[in-house]
Chain A
Amino acid sequence: MTRKILQGNEACVEAAIAAGVRFFAGYPITPATEIAEGMAKKMPEVGGVFIQMEDEIGSIGACIGASVAGAKAMTASSGPGISLMLENLGFAVISETPVVIVNVMRGGPSTGLPTFPAQMDIMQAKWGSHGEYPIVAYAPSSVRETYDLTVKAINTAEMLRTPVFLLTDAMVGHMREAIDLPDPSELKLINRPHPEPGMKDFAPHRGSEDGKVIPPMARLGDGYRFHVDSNVHDEYGFPATERHDIADHLIRRLNNKVKAHVDELTVVEEYRLDDAEIAIFAFGSTTRSALEAVERARQRSIKVGLLNAQTLWPFPEKYVDKYTRQIRAWIVPEMNLGQMFREVKLVVEGRVPVYPINRVDGLMIEPQQILDCIEAEFIRKN
């Protein structure tokens, strides 16, 4: 264990390397650039590859190529660059190629607010690429969580053979905190399933439709002579664009891979929720203000708790449902106009009120804003 003072972006680099990432392709963009810079410095030290590509399309493309060639691969960007990556995100899904995409979120649309935090890309992560696809996305609220969730994102990508987002923001990415870096040997790492050596009848896309069985993934150049195809393909990877039965099976199986592993993918912190009457659903840097609001409310004897959703996709339905049965109101603060608010409401189904608190000016939601909302609800009911 080593104690260091690191930026969130630096912790992301440390974690990625510790978790076995050996290929990084990126393109400069605020507020994510420190990740590329860190990778440029460190990759050669661990025998990995860093390349600054000509754009973000090329960055994710190179990562996908390297991943099919056997690498644990990562890229990092912010909104405008992520928008460029979304076409190949879909290719990573359909080709079942593990890759981790870090989005250090800024305000948008367009180049928006390059240097300020926002949480506006939650729905982009889920729906931004075309077609019906699953996504996994983690959102850290501290340097420590950035480290842990980077490892988790890499493990998830490998385990499910699918692209995974790490959604941080300018606040978490640039903030410095003391962090006890674990010894890399203590990390529990997951590697993609490999075919048995010399396996006959190797089928890189033969998994179970319920998503529980993840098909093995060979490396290019190892003699399997397999095909990877962006079209709907059969279990060998050959295009099957006129086979509706194969299309149906493939699209359902790809989506079910995430559904079947929801419990393993879901990371939440349940803070003072045991006796809570009001619950805050928060994620990313907004969690920090929410924590402060909980403390201040508790000092006033208002029973408030916090659900810190570190997994945003798949949406942690189970926990929202569980606390909806106990509390009398949800508060959802977020630096957008209500992206997770709608998700919470979908699960709550009108059982209790859900109050949004939104900011889109590039500034943090302040604890007092949340506290005001808590007090208003408290007064309304008492």
Chain B
Amino acid sequence: MSRVHTADLLDRYFLKDRLPTIWCPGCGLGNADLAFLRGFDETGIDQDKTVLINGIGCSGRTAAYLDFDVLKGTHGRAIAFATGIKLFRPELTVVVMAGDGDMLAIGGNHFIHAARRNMDIKIILFNNWIYGMTGGQVSPTTPEGAKASTAPQGFTEHSFDACKLAEAAGATYVARATSYHTQLLSKVVKNALLHKGFALVEVIAQCPQQYGRWNKAGTPYDMLIWQKEHAVRVEQAGNLSPEELKDKFIIGEIVNRNNGDHS
């Protein structure tokens, strides 16, 4: 399939009069949003029969500029809203687009139970390892030792691996990509949207303004290169020793199984 021009994606899916976005220069969310739309575009799913549910925070604006039916409710509850929508209107494609704080901290209970039910909803989890909009506090995915405004000496807790959590809870499609690996991201978004059952796509997206500054991660460019250099394709991960995988993260399709959805 020939690659759709970005300008065409903007025409098709963006509410241009809502732009510009609120995101800081160098933020990974714009790239990730565009890659999501590219993946959506390739599915052929009816735009009018698709509902985007946003969380709260920076990634809670990933649907705000888009020409879909959009529901942005309270913090952490996106999956609860999505569950009601999908159960009552199974013919709709229901996509939750939210951040690591929204999905894994305040909304963690809904996340694991929707995965357990194998609810036929799609989660695009934008993981920037921090609460960006409120000014850089730790989240459940902040790496141990990393700094944040609520962990100025370094985070002393363990962090969640969202993909492992979803897999253990019963998700039937789990994938990870980054705001650097946008082609992979579009591909797994497409597969997730076409999957029947609970699908998680975790997107590692850089936050240069908050996470980056606290942790001296350099420019947005440096952070993207970090993603490139620390990502290991799932196909290659099996060949690497635990030592070689240390400080690395896996990208690609991690789980793809059929287990009878609830919708």
Spell out A's residues near B (CB within 8 Å). Answer: 22-23, 25, 49, 51, 53-55, 57-71, 73, 87-88, 90-91, 95, 219-231, 238-239
Contacts and interface: CB of A to CB of B under 8 A. Distances in A.
B80 A71 contact: no
Nearest to A223: B48
Contacts of A221: 48-51, 69, 89, 91-92
B230 interface: no
Interface of B: 18, 47-51, 53, 56, 64, 67-74, 77, 79-85, 87-89, 91-92, 109-110, 113
B71 A225 contact: no
B19 to A, nearest CB: 12
Q: Which 8 A-B pairs have the closest CB atoms?
A: A61-B80, A65-B84, A62-B84, A65-B81, A66-B84, A66-B88, A54-B113, A58-B80
Contact of A222 (B48, B50, B87): B48
A353 to B, nearest CB: 44
Contact of B83 (A65, A87, A91, A231): A65
B68 A225 contact: yes
Given A69-B92, A221-B92, A239-B64, A95 B73 contact: yes
Contact of A23 (B56, B72, B84, B92): B84
A148 to B, nearest CB: 26
Contacts of B73: 61, 64, 88, 91, 95, 228, 230
Nearest to B110: A58
Given A69-B85, A69-B88, A238 B18 contact: yes
A51 B91 contact: no
A227 B70 contact: yes
Contacts of B109: 54-55, 58
Contacts of B91: 221
B48 A66 contact: no
Given A54-B109, A58-B110, A61-B77, A73 B70 contact: no
27 contacts: A22-B88, A25-B83, A53-B113, A54-B109, A58-B109, A59-B80, A63-B84, A66-B88, A69-B89, A71-B84, A73-B84, A87-B74, A90-B74, A91-B74, A91-B77, A219-B89, A220-B89, A221-B48, A221-B92, A222-B48, A225-B48, A225-B67, A225-B68, A228-B71, A229-B64, A231-B72, A238-B64
B168 to A, nearest CB: 16
Contacts of A95: 73
Given A225-B67, A228-B70, A228-B71, A49 B87 contact: yes
A69 B72 contact: no
